Amino acid sequence: MRVVILGGGPAGYVAAVRLAQLGAEVTLIEKEHIGGTCLNEGCIPTKVLLNTTELYDRLRKDSTGLGLEIDRLTLNWQAVQERKNLVVLQLVDGVKTLLETNKINVINGTGRFLTKNEIEVITGSKERLVLSFDKAIIATGSVPIMIPIPGADLEGVLNSTEALSLDSVPESICVIGGGIIGVELSNIFSNVGTKVTIVELLPEIVANMDQDIVECLKNQLIESGIDIYVKSKVERIEKQGDQLNVVVSTPQGVKEVVSEKVLMATGRKPNTEGLGLEEIGIKTDRGAIVVDDSMRTSVDNVYAIGDCNGKVLLAHAASAQGIVAADSIMGRFTPMDFKTVPYCVYTKPELASVGLTEKQALEQGYQIKTSKFPLYANGKSVIMGDVNGLVKFVVDKDTDEILGLSLAGNNATELIHIGALAIRLEATVDEILTTIYAHPTVSESILEAAHGIKGWPIHLPAIE
C-alpha cells in the first residue's frame, strides 16, 4: 500500500507513523517545518513562554507570601526566547527521529493533486516530482484569519508567530481577539509587565467554554491590569508617532487604545487553497474539506485530517484523526468519539472542558443538573496558594450520566481527562463517587463536585 501524506504537522506525522507501523509504504510531503504550526509556531512555544512568565510573575508578586526572600529577580527575555527555541528544536528532532526510524520518506516541498492517484511536488530546490499513490491523506492544517481592518498592514501589527518571537518585551500591546490564542498571549505579556488590552467582538472572551469557568480567568486578567472590551469592534488602526492607535467601537462608545504593538488573534481557518481539490472532485464546505467518519473525502481513496477538514481545530484532535484515517486505510477502522475531545486554555488559571457545557446541554434539549466546587475549599490548592478556580459537572437529570465537565485552576488541563474517560465510558456520577482519590490532590475537587450533584458536598459548609 503506497500512501502519500500532504502535511507534516500533528495530523500528518502521526498518520505517517501509524501507517508505517501497519506496513504501508509512506511518503510525507512538508513544505516548511516538520511538526507543523503547533510544534514550531503555536502550542509548544506558547506554553514555554507561559511556563516561564507565570513563574516570574508569581515570584515577583508573591515570593514573600510563599516564604521566599529574593533580593533581585530579573527577566532575561533573550534567554527565555533561547529556551523556547531549544524546546522546539528538541521536539522537532524527536519527530524527525520517529519518521526516520519508521522508514518514512520525507520530501520538503509543496504538493498539488493532478489526478486521484497522482500528486505533483515542487521541492524546496524547485525540482518537480510526480508521485503516484494508492491512498492519499491531506493534512495541510490551518492559516490565520486576516480580518480586513484598515491599518492592519502597519508596522507593529503582529500575527501570533511574530508575537512569540519579539526581540524585547513591549511596553503595551492591544490584542484583537479574545479566543484561546488571544488570552494565552495576553497572559504571557501581562506576566512580564506589558500593559495589555483585549478587544473581543463576541459578548465574552473564550466564548466556546462554560462561562462559569471563563469568569475565573476574566477576573484574574482584570485583576492583573488587563483591560477587556467585549461586544466591541476594531474600526481601524492608525499610526500615532511611534505608537499605534486602535479605534474601537464599544457598547459605551468609541474608545482609542494607544499601544506599542497590536496583535491580530482573530482565529484560524482551514488551509485548502492551491491543492487541486476541485480538479479531482474533492468537496469542500466554506473552505473545509468534507469528510465522513473515517476521514474519507468525496474521492474514495483520499482522506483529510486535522484543521483542514474544519471539524475541531486542535492539535490533539488532529492526531486522533490521523490514527482514524490510517487505521481505516489499513482495514482497521475505529470511529472517533468527538464528545471526548478536551478543550484547553493554558492561562492563569488554566481552563479545560470536555463534553457539553451547561448552555450547550440546554440547547440540545437535555434536562440537567449541575454542581460546582470552588478550589478555595480544596486542600492542595490552598497549599499551592492557587485557589482561583472551580470544578463544574453537567449531568443528565434522570440518569445522572455525565454530559460535561469544566474546570478552572491549577492543572485543569491535566485533570480534564478524568471527564473525557467518564464521557467515553458513559459513566454516571456514581462511578465518580465510588472512586477513591488521593489526598491531598487538586483532583479531589472533582469528587467533591460529584458529591454536589447528589446534594452531599463534604467540604462545603452546610446550608440550612
Q: List the catalytic residues.
A: 439
* Residues in the chain, overall count: 464
Q: Would you say 353 and 406 are in contact if contact means Cβ atoms under 8 Å apart?
A: yes
Do residues 236 and 150 make contact, with C-beta atoms less than 8 angstroms apart? Answer: yes
Q: At what angle do helices 77-101 and 12-21 cross, to 10 degrees?
A: 30
Task: Report whether the peptide linkage leading into residue 148 is cis, meaning its omega lies within 30 degrees of zero.
Answer: no
Q: Is 244 helix (H, G, I), strand (E, B) or coil?
A: strand
Yes or no: say if 269 and 183 are a contact pair by the CB < 8 Å rule. Answer: no
Helix (H) or strand (E) holding 402: strand 402-408
DSSP state of 437: P
Among 104, 144, 137, 107, smallest CA distance to 122 is for 107
Give the amino acid at 191: N
Q: How many whole angstroms separate alpha carbon 432 and alpha carbon 450?
A: 7
Alpha-carbon distance 400 to 416, whole Å? 19
Helices and strands: H and E segment counts in the chain: 14, 24
How far is residue 88's CA from residue 49's CA, in Å, rounded to a whole number? 12
238 sits in which H/E element: strand 233-240
- Cα distances from 245 to residues 171, 186, 225, 359, in angstroms, run 14, 18, 19, 37
Strand partners, 27: 4, 105
**How many CB atoms sit inside 10 A of residue 8's CB?**
30
3-class SS at 122? strand
Alpha helices in 308-411 (DSSP H): 315-329, 358-363, 379-384
